[in-house]
A and B are shown apart, each in its own frame.
Chain A
Amino acid sequence: MASLEDPRTAVVISAASSWGTYRRVWRKLRRDPVTLAAAALLGTIVVVTLMAPIITGLLQTDPDQILRTPTGRIATLEPPGPGYILGTDDLGRDAFARLLHAGRVSLAIGFMVALISVLIGAPAGLLAGYYGGRVDDVINAFVQFVFNVPSLFVLIILSVVLRPDVTVLALIFGFFFWPGTARQVRGVVLSVRALDYIAAAEALGASDLRVIARHVLPNVVNIVLVVAGFDVAGAILGESALSFLGFGVQVPMASWGNMLSGSQDFLRRAPWLVYPPGIMIFLTVLSVVQLADGLRDAFDPRV
């Protein structure tokens, strides 16, 4: 059967329409101060943490170095002052240097988890929504399984047995996050699948692959971006809790969560150590979530 579509114009049309979509999205975003502020904040946090080695180098501090006071004593639990802007922790390390370097680890885990979640969840949701039936059942069984597992308990036992490094930790978290992505994508695919133009494309003899790639996928990309944002936020929160308990990122490597593990013993003596990691987690999660939320509204043609 001869194709009724001229491939060249089809490409032009879809490219033009997709650029049109993004122009429309950008026009909406430009008028949305909350989302713009969130994007700026997130951008700042990412840049500052990426530049952590340079910044701490300029300040001549190091996240692992044990500092000494002018009198030669090890500088444990020193309040903020010259030489250590945010004070020192219980082992005498510079809290500011550790905060910046911890940000690299926490953000890396957040983004890696989101990537893994999307890489597994999006195809799974696509297949489940498009083919339905047996395929849907199998994928749904996996999703149900992960949703019903007491995740913190399993994460702890995995951490004890596997003693994961940052990459493995991100893989494990990704395993708990992909079903959420799959579920969202499946929902979108189901509603797109019911539209007339899919039926039309199929009637014209388009292969499954072509229908998925050309007609379904463009609708899925937006939701994937949004879900990925929420995954980053969830992963950063989850990692911080696990690391706080001592089962996530292992010392001496710093993460925003483990900077405070075991802190109950010295909280009363050094309250200044409590605030910075939590504030960083809060700002990061808040900006990621607001950005994802704003994108969702911008992508939604009805809003």
Chain B
Amino acid sequence: MRRFLARRLLQSVLLLWVLMTFTFCLTRLAPGGPESMLLEQPKIQKVDLDRIRARFGLDDPLPLAYAKWLGNVLRLDFGMSYHYLRPPLEVIGERMWATVQLGALAYAIALIGIPLGVAAALNRGRLPDISIRVFTVMSDAVPNWWMALVIIVALSTFAGWVPRGQGTEGPLDWFRHIIIPAAILGLGGIVGFTRYVRSQVLEVIGQDYVRTARAKGLTELAVARDHILRNALLPLVTIFGGLLPALISGAALMEVIFAWPGMGRLYLDAALSRDYPLLLAMITIATIATLLGTLSADVMYGYVDPRIRYS
């Protein structure tokens, strides 16, 4: 286990380094260079441009600039945001909490998928199963950014109110603003949980020990509760980590549409204004989060299922 963990950590660090190097080079080799945004300003003087280049360390040749950048990053210094003129991590820190709120609530909403999956499996082939299947297939095909727009239109027509931003008038107002983006974001998770739980339960139902439990005269409820669900739901803990990448991407869309002041919106604004130091810092953080998600999924998997051996 320890060796497996060490190897996976090493792989993760390697992957992070490759991606960071790639994105760094990408921003440096971009046509017009990192300062291309400034060149689009018609009034900028050559002297000013040179001063700015020197200030942000853009005069160094690529290998030197890269070495400096990597050295600084190892000390958690991502330079200076072009737009905010502050360290990127500071700016991100202010926005992170809003995204965490959105993501946490979306996860909680995704849990609705568990009873749905159980209901579908226990009623296999009958009406509940079929309607749940129609629901999952439909929700998979609807672009969730579009669903958000439709909900906005419906709300503005019927309620005359549309959630924008975080809501400033207490917890109830906050909830009113967060619930819709979080629900749309959680929908993908509901579908994921439903499918996974359904197939897990169906697999367990076919096991010998379930037949034994029935044969010794236990009630259907006792069989379902003590024998089927216990074994079927345990592997669920592994899904949480696996959902994280989709959640990070999805949150960005919801934050843009509902003006939620989180990291996803920050990233898009940074992309529009070519704020490369901020973009690089955020890609690094998003990658670390993704890696931790998949790593935790792998570790949990072995933890809940003793049959899994790490080699």
Contact = CB atoms under 8 A, between A and B. Distances in A.
B187 interface: no
A81 B44 CA distance: 48
B30 interface: yes
Interface string A159-178: 11100000000000000000
Contacts of B257: 264
A257 B294 CA distance: 30
A190 B23 CA distance: 35
B141 A286 contact: yes
- The secondary structure that dominates the B interface is helix
Interface residues of A, number: 42
Interface of B: 11-12, 15, 18-19, 23, 26-27, 29-31, 137-138, 140-143, 145-147, 149-150, 152-153, 156-157, 245, 248-249, 252-253, 256-257, 267-268, 271-272, 274, 279, 282-283, 286-287, 289-291, 294
Interface stretch (A1-9, A43-51, A201-209, A266-274): A266-274
Interface string A260-281: 1001100110010011011001
Contacts of B267: 153, 156
A274 B141 contact: no
- The secondary structure that dominates the A interface is helix
Interface stretch (A62-70, A71-79, A236-244): A236-244
A160 B138 CA distance: 32
B264 to A, nearest CB: 8
27 contacts: A145-B19, A147-B294, A148-B294, A149-B19, A150-B245, A150-B290, A153-B249, A153-B283, A156-B267, A159-B271, A161-B29, A241-B145, A244-B143, A245-B253, A245-B268, A260-B146, A260-B149, A268-B153, A268-B156, A271-B153, A275-B150, A278-B149, A278-B150, A281-B141, A285-B141, A286-B137, A286-B138
B252 A149 contact: no
Contacts of B147: 278
Contacts of A246: 272
Given A157-B283, A159-B271, 19 more contacts: A148-B287, A150-B248, A152-B248, A153-B248, A153-B252, A153-B282, A153-B286, A157-B271, A161-B26, A161-B29, A241-B143, A241-B145, A241-B253, A244-B143, A274-B146, A274-B149, A277-B146, A281-B143, A281-B146
A290 interface: yes
A278 B15 CA distance: 36
Contacts, number: 123
Q: Which 4 A-B residue pairings sit nearest by Cβ, starting from the closest?
A: A278-B146, A152-B249, A150-B286, A286-B141
B249 A150 contact: yes
A145 B137 CA distance: 29
A37 B30 CA distance: 47
Nearest to A284: B141
Interface in A270-303: 271, 274-275, 277-278, 281-282, 285-286, 289-290
A59 interface: no
A141 to B, nearest CB: 8
B274 A145 contact: no
A236 to B, nearest CB: 9
A160 B271 contact: yes
Contact of B26 (A145, A158, A247, A271): A158
